[in-house]
Structure 1
């Protein structure tokens, strides 16, 4: 008997790798009659100043994430898929994606790009996808290729 996924988490950060994961997640969600949960985590550690958080900068990042969600939702509608929820969270992307979101949103599969936008964090602390693989309590699929299973150019 085949397992069917019902709620698929796709973390997005505007990177090409996240877009590859999103494209494949639409296809998996269609086959499984599942809901996609698009998530963007605003890394609060990078927004701190000696006086606290930069409010205007945080709002700009939130606005960019909402615009990105809008583009992804439009693409999904063009593919006759509409079961999408969006989530914006604040904190450590590694922990939010691997621990909080799966519990809070009843996620049974995380589809994540192999790398994302934060090269500095990857260099010093390891990649988000690596941490998610090691710590998530649900299945994790790391996406490296496009819909034709080709590496992106």
Structure 2
């Protein structure tokens, strides 16, 4: 995770102008930020005119507003998902003998690569075996240490 400013924070007024032209001045500010994020993603990923991207971004924001507006929920940054995505990439490239190379490629320690592999092994074992009643995740009888 870098401390680099978000794409929205780096966006200029000129870049956001096609969307700004569509937004009513009374449009809720938080929904305008969501529309701006959607617009930037569409503009960067899809071919076509900026105006078409702006219309689609506003339509998507309106759909979200209609579904989620009025509710209060926490919008997580998703750092856990990003970490698990990285872990899944490490596991996909794991050959059994490339701990060091994976650590260097993903900017983690070798020990962390071992931990990811060990956790995956435990999860696979538990998935195949099932958890025996009265045992904790480590296979130790509950209430004993």
Q: Which band: TM-score by shorter chain?
A: under 0.3
Larger Rg: 2
Higher RCO, Cα 8 Å, sep 6+: 1
- What is the TM-score of this pair, normalised by structure 1? 0.21
Structure number having the greater helix percentage: 2
Structure number having the greater strand percentage: 1
